[in-house]
Structure 1
Amino acid sequence: MKPDLRQAWDQQVLIGDGAMGTFLYQMGFPVGISYEELNLTSPEVIKDVHRRYVEAGAQIIETNTFSANFDKLSKYGLESKVEDINRAGVRIAREVAGSAGYVVGAIGSIRGGKRTNVSTAELKKYFEQQIQALLQEGVDGILLETFYDVEELYLALSIVRKLSPLPVICQFAVEDVARTLDGYTMPEAFRMMQQQGADVIGFNCRTGPNGIMSAMKTLGGHLSVPMSVYPNAGVADYVDGEYQYGAKPDYFGQMAVKFADLGARIIGGCCGTTPAHIAAISSALQGYEPQPITYGPIDIVPAPIEIHEHLAPDGDGEGKGGSPNLVDLVKERHTVIVELDPPRDLDIAKFMKGAQVLKDAGADALTLADNSLAVTRMSNMALGHLVQAETGLRPLVHIACRDRNLIGTQSHLMGFDALGIDHVLAVTGDPARFGDLPGSSSVYDLTSFEIIRMIKQLNEGIAFSGKPLKQKANFVVGAAFNPHGKHLDKAVLRLERKIAAGADYIMTQPVYDPELIRALKEATSHLDIPIFLGIMPLASGRNAEYLHNEVPGIQLSDDVRRRMSGLEGEEGRAMGVAIAKELLDVAMEHFNGIYLMTPFMLYDMSAQLISHVWEKSGRRQPPLFHR
């Protein structure tokens, strides 16, 4: 009779199996199908893969259920098959493992490093459904693998522990710096998993043997539980239309001994590994006698990270050139941000002239949208840098979640930091299908809440991946607010969530109703961050109707539409400025922050409104600027 799984890894180093998904891909099964569905449609294929790993020396077989949860299966219309697919996966693995092998139910991360793309309530529901199906079919243990953050893994582990006393293996997907996406060091993460009842804690995926070795070493040899390691076969390369992995089986054999010396008691493979890799591990560990490990409380003090603060040129810490940031400025006086749209062509002459006019009128910052309304425009990074260098006016750039994945978003922000552009506005971004390139993809790796949190993480000197960045960024992060919904109180609750995520200031959609300005002040009076109230002068009657009827987030009052009706050209612009001045008079009574939006590059209209703000506030001369 085989020993209990816990006894087995205390006595020896157990050999795990290798990849399922990438191995099926190498066998000719295309990306874009549910590999877990093969448990029902092609069980002989899954059985054959398991058999090859057992013949290679694997003692622990993972069920083919990594993504067999409601959320992942629903993408293939298989959400009603969760129980069937999981139970079939256990039966297939059990048949191949036989009486000598161990079967662990494989459960992967649902969020996949995207933080809150699935709510906590949904996570609980989906994990519990899958875990119960695996337990009912009789696994020897549960393997929670490829988790990027502590929160989700902790939740999944707590559900297993509520349902079963079976052994549980928990594996993080980290890079060589060994920090989770939510910022925990591995000693901290290990301690939390141990306290929640994990039997084995380790690493898999995301990196090859060398990266996992580096992650193991960050623990400093102080282990609280046995460890498991399932590295990728190096970094994937895309060659001639196929994914290929470079790490060879003999290299895996050499690294297996080093893993065992560091305390690993389960060693297998993840993406790109094959039965040949597992055979090399099994051969290298043949006759290996592990040294007894004395488990004690793990050192939970995070490894020191060398952080260097940005210093202003004059050393005052206020920002480039010594000027206070907008959040500090708006606490002292009325402060004006003006939006000027980047051009849709390659001619920047008019844009740069407009920026200079707005600077001369006394704008405190020029804000540049990020392909607003999903219409392709020139990079706001390039224009922001030019504005800053040539006019001295502070750029405030929008960052949309629509256009860039996590890699591109962090890279983009790092570029802003290098250029000294430190004021940003996080926005979701209008869907690409409604813009000028409807065939383009909308990425949305992050929500507006998540991007705010991630930007503030850069301010701590920590990359999205958890890596240290050697110095801290210094971003002042804004959030957008639409006050035009039917229920202002609910909109404010959403706004409070953005503030909780780390927003430093708020910029609203344009408001055309004095009563709404007053209501907005009352509804937000409890908030402790500044609000820049949006005002956009109307250029014509047609412009007014278009904004009211076709542009999301903008509503005009009946009075404004009546006054603009039928007006065009200079007459329309004059009325638009007059209405905007009336709105500014009300806004300035309640808000120090003013956000002017320039229509159709008619920057002279915005310049008139800037002058009105300074006259109204008693500052008839434009303020002096350092930027």
Structure 2
Amino acid sequence: MTSRPDLRRALADGLLTGDGAMSTYLYQQGIPVGVTAEELSLSRPDWIEEVHRQYLEAGAEILETNTYGANRERLARYGLEGKVSRINRESVAIARRVAGEKAYVVGAVGSINAGRVPNWSRAEYRDYYEEQATALLYAGVDGLILETFLDLEELTLALEAIRPLTDLPILANVAMLEVGRTRDGHTLTEAFAHMQKHGADGAGLNCRLGPLEIQRALEKTVVPEGLILSAFPNAGRLGLTEGEFRYKSTPEYFGDRARALREQGVRLIGGCCGTTPEHIREVARALEGLSPVPRDNPELPEEKEVRPRVEVRTRPTVAEKVRRETTVIVEFDSPKDLDITGYLRGAEELNRAGVDAITLADNSMATTRMSNMALGSIVKERTGAEPLVHITCRDRNLIGQQSHLMGLHALGIDQILVVTGDPTRIGDLPGASSIYDVNSFDLIRMVKQLNNGISFSGKPLRQKARFTVGAAFNPNVSRIEAAVRRLEKKVEAGADFIMTQPVYDAESMRKVHEVTRNLPIPVFIGIMPLTSHRNALFLHNELPGVKIPDPVMKRMEGLKGPEARRAGVELAKGLLDEALRYFRGIYLITPFHYWPMTAELTRHIRDRQRRDQAAVMSRN
């Protein structure tokens, strides 16, 4: 653009109007949902060109390319990963045709993580950013704008990958879930200084929040000298109005707020989701003839280090106790009805027998049961037993998961087992949705984030949680080495102990010990007594993750009722004697609410402990 100063100079000296939303505006015009806007640069370039033209005519002085999601990872969802370079080049060409000598063209690079759980490969993301930026630069943009980064860590990686490729200006915008802070817990003051250090010419805010919330955030932020400020707010918050999801802010309101953003020293003002050419027209009118306002940073009070309070646990957790002595966890699932009288009696007897924790599954086999959080709290209060509740990835979205964990913390239930959860189609409500916002690795990491006093969204909490997190391990697989590698990933994610699926023979005990002996966390070996021959047949042939050896199957053959349960207990005692040669952690699973079976097995363990201790004392 020979008739205008280069973009860096224009941003440093002037006050510029950016453009508005691309994708949401296209959808408002009737583009089918499910079509990725970036691909339209190839299939319908006339549509993209028309949007750019409308924004130019509305007064936009900077046009962003239609490339927010034009990276390999996102395009792969549509089978377009082989067209990364072509989509980016064509998008630049479209914007350039419209801009001519009237506007600058900046290449838009969006966050790849884009609001998902922050679990990503640095090496892969670096390659993706480098690939997209290279295509945009080759096509001839005037600069680059990095947008909608919730996490400063990911934005830093993008800057590190892109800055060495060009001397053109790079603007870097974060998006906030909480006003004034990134999802990974950094204040905007920290984030802006960090972005400048890593090569950003400009920094700012875009998406998620409206103009007033962005203004509020900037009022409390120290902006480094020389850093160009930008703001691309949404048209307010998205809400349901008359049966439709809409953005509330009118174009007139948007223009009014543009003047307020200018007072904060913002040099580039445009719009993000929900904005239209009419919003940008009002911004351009509001800023017409005005000069930029020098940034006047607030004088922030000296911050005292605020350390989230940690409540001290009065009793050792199972993960702590098992390192010193034999520790018994008994699974006793919540009832499927509303009567808890029998359940509480069983919990009381298990506690009297000497269990260290009663663990309650989270709607096991996708079958509806009483809330394990509510029942665990009642058990703790009325029997004194220590509850250890399971949490599945299946039943709650991330909002519900954090809320559930916060509730457990408030109730003093701080020992949990994180599991994936059986799919709903196998349960008693097969039409229910399986959520699975995250997998078990992600959820373990996020629980540990709560232990650091940081919410899932990155918001500091006034207290640190104190969850001890267990993870599940199924040794009854054909390729146990692959299962162990998966288990090691759970340990890396932050698991504190392991609970295995039940095993039914001595050889399996030894094998589990051998493959887990080098893990840095304790293992609780699973044992579930059989209740009948039919029960053994079902477990072996129909229940995933369980194998019953032939000798055990023959021992149970023909047995039923109390006689079968006695045989199941005796078999389990033999397994326990073998297990105690290798493991201090025992995980007993109560079948069909037959708690007397696991109570007797717990007494067997405690009796053996006493005999072993007496033998040691007599030798001394």
TM over 0.5: yes
Q: Mapping of 1:133-212 within 5 angstroms?
A: 133-212=135-214
Matched to 1:182, the amino acid is: D
Deviates most, 375-384 or 116-125: 116-125
The SS at the match of 1:509 is strand
CA distance in 2, matches of 1:28, 1:519: 60
2:605 aligned with 1:603, yes or no? no
2:362 aligned with 1:370, yes or no? yes
CA distance in 1, matches of 2:235, 2:480: 53
CA distance in 2, matches of 1:484, 1:189: 48
CA distance in 2, matches of 1:564, 1:162: 70
Displacement after TM superposition at 1:9 (Å): 0.6
2:335 aligned with 1:343, yes or no? yes
Report the counterpart of residue 450 of structure 1 in structure 2.
442
Matched to 2:233, the amino acid is: P
Displacement after TM superposition at 1:479 (Å): 1.6
Call closer, same or farther: CA 1:69–1:434 in 2, change over 3 Å: farther
Q: Identify the match of residue 483 of structure 1 among 472, 475, 478.
A: 475
Report the counterpart of residue 505 of structure 1 in structure 2.
497
Call closer, same or farther: CA 1:619–1:415 in 2, change over 3 Å: farther
CA distance in 2, matches of 1:582, 1:240: 66
CA distance in 1, matches of 2:431, 2:159: 41
Q: Tell me, yes or no, if the aligned pair for 1:108 and 1:147 is still in contact at 8 Å.
A: yes
2:431 aligned with 1:439, yes or no? yes
Matched to 1:588, the amino acid is: L
The SS at the match of 2:373 is helix
CA distance in 2, matches of 1:603, 1:441: 32
Displacement after TM superposition at 1:334 (Å): 1.6
2:320 aligned with 1:328, yes or no? yes
Q: Mapping of 1:221-620 within 5 angstroms?
A: 221-223=223-225, 225-292=227-294, 306-311=306-311, 317-318=312-313, 322-618=314-610
The SS at the match of 1:44 is helix
Displacement after TM superposition at 1:10 (Å): 0.4
Displacement after TM superposition at 1:536 (Å): 1.2
Report the counterpart of residue 62 of structure 1 in structure 2.
64
CA distance in 1, matches of 2:39, 2:526: 51
**Structure 2 runs not aligned, ≥5 long:** 614-620
Displacement after TM superposition at 1:65 (Å): 1.9
CA distance in 2, matches of 1:224, 1:367: 57
Q: Number of aligned pairs?
A: 611
The SS at the match of 2:462 is coil
Displacement after TM superposition at 1:483 (Å): 2.6
CA distance in 1, matches of 2:226, 2:532: 70
CA distance in 2, matches of 1:582, 1:543: 19
Q: Tell me, yes or no, if the aligned pair for 1:355 and 1:387 is still in contact at 8 Å.
A: yes
CA distance in 1, matches of 2:356, 2:302: 41
CA distance in 1, matches of 2:80, 2:149: 23
Report the counterpart of residue 11 of structure 1 in structure 2.
13
CA distance in 2, matches of 1:139, 1:49: 18
CA distance in 2, matches of 1:221, 1:342: 54
**Structure 1 runs not aligned, ≥5 long:** 312-316, 622-627
Percent identity reads 54
Displacement after TM superposition at 1:175 (Å): 3.0
Matched to 1:202, the amino acid is: G
CA distance in 1, matches of 2:11, 2:606: 74
Report the counterpart of residue 617 of structure 2 in structure 1.
none
Report the counterpart of residue 109 of structure 1 in structure 2.
111
CA distance in 1, matches of 2:332, 2:351: 12
Q: Deviations over 1:343-402 (max 9, x none)?
A: 333343433332223222222211111122323322212222222222222211111112
Q: Could you tell me the TM-score, scaled by structure 2's length?
A: 0.91
2:70 aligned with 1:73, yes or no? no
Q: Could you tell me the TM-score, scaled by structure 1's length?
A: 0.90
Q: Mapping of 1:205-220 within 5 angstroms?
A: 205-220=207-222
Report the counterpart of residue 31 of structure 2 in structure 1.
29
Deviates most, 90-99 or 351-360: 351-360
Displacement after TM superposition at 1:537 (Å): 1.2
Report the counterpart of residue 84 of structure 2 in structure 1.
82
Aligned-CA RMSD value: 2.9
Q: Tell me, yes or no, if the aligned pair for 2:308 and 2:461 is still in contact at 8 Å.
A: no
Matched to 2:361, the amino acid is: A
Q: Tell me, yes or no, if the aligned pair for 1:176 and 1:212 is still in contact at 8 Å.
A: no
Q: Tell me, yes or no, if the aligned pair for 2:193 and 2:224 is still in contact at 8 Å.
A: no
Call closer, same or farther: CA 1:222–1:362 in 2, change over 3 Å: same
Q: Tell me, yes or no, if the aligned pair for 1:218 and 1:303 is still in contact at 8 Å.
A: no
The SS at the match of 1:366 is strand
Q: Deviations over 1:594-616 (max 9, x none)?
A: 11111111111111111111111
